[in-house]
Structure 1
């Protein structure tokens, strides 16, 4: 197991000029998650905080690298990052942004961490909702644990969360590879995985490629589309996604194949991707 691959900020998680600011934060996963929660607000959950977002605020959710996210946070408010901003003054993002910022903070302190793309079973009864969480290495337990850095006290009450967000059960957050395997084996209905009107095996396949990309330190937006991603189940290369699922489920046992698969042009992130939310191609 190569923990060093996930021990330092790199690519999307590179904090750039903000390294000193992050180094001053307490080096503990829970404390860092609380810091993230004081800096960010979820685009689609903002109304429950009494916040109505304007167009400029909603546009913030399209930022990809963490240094650009931190640039905007500190440009608006130069106080230390440990100072929680008022809900209406927080940086706007979605689960991926909470996760990436948490991962960057953990890595700044030398704690191995990586973003995982999959589905949360705790937002809507009977459904698995498109979601991202942090997976960090617990020295105490000598294993990877899932941490949902988005779940502050307000959201824990809102969604009636009964588990510890610092150790999310694997049946509550289903990694993309596990979701694929569950549906391919007939144990789960693919239509229960997705978000809004979008669901099915094709949606799981998209998250599977995003999870493999994140495991290779390329944490893309949840609505970025490239390579072998499709909009219909009938157009999927099932053999390819079966391979991707096996690696997503046990990435450390398939370290060599993880990199090899990401070199495949059907999986690797190109220089230009399709932003489905904005309905246009974007250069990275």
Structure 2
């Protein structure tokens, strides 16, 4: 099995002119997750840390690439990344930013890693909430492992996490393709998959597309909209999503097919996408 395509730094994971900031960091998966936790703060969990976000901080979750994320971090505090910032001075992001940083740091250490888009069961009972995690290759065990770089000690405590966040069980985090398959088989309710007031099969389909893009090294914002994404179940091409969801469930067996699938205009990330949160089109 060739995992090299997930070992290389690519557009969104490239630290660029700030690459030296990754020198001197821990070598292990958990240590690197800790680095991300020390410089990032999740937008929607900030109150649990006693932080009230300022209007300017609400712009930060829209940063796309690691280079721009690092630029903002060091412009505020130039210390090495392994020195945790006070919580109210951390860069504000969401799960995707923790994941992207984690993936980027792992790749600089030669560890194959990829961002996975899907749904987590551990934030709200009975719900599968929109989420991103790292999937890294464990060479010793010869398997891909899910790691949630967002779950620091405080979150693990108030969420009652009873599993290792560096080895998330596959029934605790469902990649979007698995979520799609469960719902299409009638084994799960699509109405329990989503975020905020947005739930349904259409949301799962959109995350399948985002996951295909991420597997092709285009780790988009969770609210970027393009291609075949829709808000209406009736507009879904079910057989099309069935096919691409199946590819994402075993990506290592379908590397070439995933690459070809990504070339489809319904999936490929165009030069301009809709930022649905800001309700504006943005050039990449």
**Alignment TM-score, normalising by the size of structure 1:** 0.99
Q: CA deviation at 1:18?
A: 2.0
**Structure 1 equivalent of residue 8 of structure 2:** 8
**Structure 2 equivalent of residue 256 of structure 1:** 256
Q: Please give the alpha-carbon distance, in whole angstroms, between the structure 1 residues aligned to 2:181 and 2:43.
A: 30
**Structure 2 equivalent of residue 238 of structure 1:** 238
**Structure 2 equivalent of residue 49 of structure 1:** 49
Q: Which runs of 5+ in 2 are unaligned?
A: none
**Structure 1 equivalent of residue 215 of structure 2:** 215
Q: Please give the alpha-carbon distance, in whole angstroms, between the structure 2 residues aligned to 1:88 and 1:70.
A: 17
The list of structure 1 runs, each at least 4 consecutive aligned residues, that deviate by more than 3 angstroms after superposition, is: none
Give the alignment of 1:1-284 within 5 angstroms: 1-284=1-284
Give the RMSD, CA atoms, in angstroms: 0.6
Q: Helix, strand or coil: the match of 1:11?
A: coil
Q: Please give the alpha-carbon distance, in whole angstroms, between the structure 2 residues aligned to 1:99 and 1:214.
A: 11
Q: CA deviation at 1:26?
A: 1.4
Q: CA deviation at 1:19?
A: 1.8
Alpha-carbon displacement from aligned partner over 1:34-73 (angstroms, at most 9, x marks no partner) = 0000000000000110000011101000000111000100
**Alignment TM-score, normalising by the size of structure 2:** 0.99
Alpha-carbon displacement from aligned partner over 1:210-245 (angstroms, at most 9, x marks no partner) = 000000000000000000000010000111101111
Q: Helix, strand or coil: the match of 1:12?
A: coil
Q: CA deviation at 1:27?
A: 1.2
Q: Which runs of 5+ in 1 are unaligned?
A: none
Q: Please give the alpha-carbon distance, in whole angstroms, between the structure 2 residues aligned to 1:240 and 1:14.
A: 32
Q: Please give the alpha-carbon distance, in whole angstroms, between the structure 2 residues aligned to 1:279 and 1:19.
A: 32
Q: Please give the alpha-carbon distance, in whole angstroms, between the structure 2 residues aligned to 1:52 and 1:33.
A: 24
Q: How many residues align?
A: 284
Alpha-carbon displacement from aligned partner over 1:179-233 (angstroms, at most 9, x marks no partner) = 0000001010000100111000000001000000000000000000000000010
Q: Please give the alpha-carbon distance, in whole angstroms, between the structure 2 residues aligned to 1:247 and 1:103.
A: 21
Q: CA deviation at 1:21?
A: 1.7
Q: Please give the alpha-carbon distance, in whole angstroms, between the structure 2 residues aligned to 1:67 and 1:137.
A: 24
Q: Please give the alpha-carbon distance, in whole angstroms, between the structure 1 residues aligned to 2:230 and 2:279.
A: 15
